[in-house]
Amino acid sequence: MRSSWSVYVIETDITDVPRFKGTELNKPAVYIGSTSRTIEERFNQQKDSNHKLSMKKSNGIPIKLLDEFQAKSIPSSELANDIERLIWFKLKTSGNYIMVQDKYAPSMQNRTDYLDDYPNYGD
């Protein structure tokens, strides 16, 4: 079991992502995630050309980490998911970003109860 988790935000290039065709790309596109690795390890893994090509097709190509939205040393995966969802909501409602997770808050596998009322996939 990992001792801590982190939440990160990556700016992505969504130019070639089919579901964003026709979207005016006048704002940075961002992907929010959580990890038990270091944020840098996770970012490098996502930049790796062999890493889950299907993820790149739906989320875009990672460009850079947005350090101002990082949260580190989170004691549990559930709390990390809550923070991930809060950051998603704040960035989405700011109007300053194109959200790669555009409709649904980031969810956690096998989790059904959340502290917020943000939309979840399958609701």
Summarised one tens digit per residue, pLDDT across range 31-82 is 999 999 999 999 998 888 666 666 778 889 999 999 999 999 999 999 999 9
Q: What share of the chain is helix, strand, coil (3-state, %, to 5)?
A: 35, 20, 45
Q: Which amino acid is at 19?
A: R
Structure tokens at 69: 């939205």
Residue 112: how many CA atoms within 13 Å on its side-chain side?
Answer: 0
Record the pTM: 0.86
Longest dimension (CA), the chain: 43
Q: What is the predicted pLDDT for the residue at 55?
A: 73
CB 66 within 8 A of CB 30: yes
Query: What share of the chain in percent tops pLDDT 90?
Result: 60
Question: What are the φ/ψ torsions at residue 104 (nearest 5 degrees)?
Answer: -125, 140
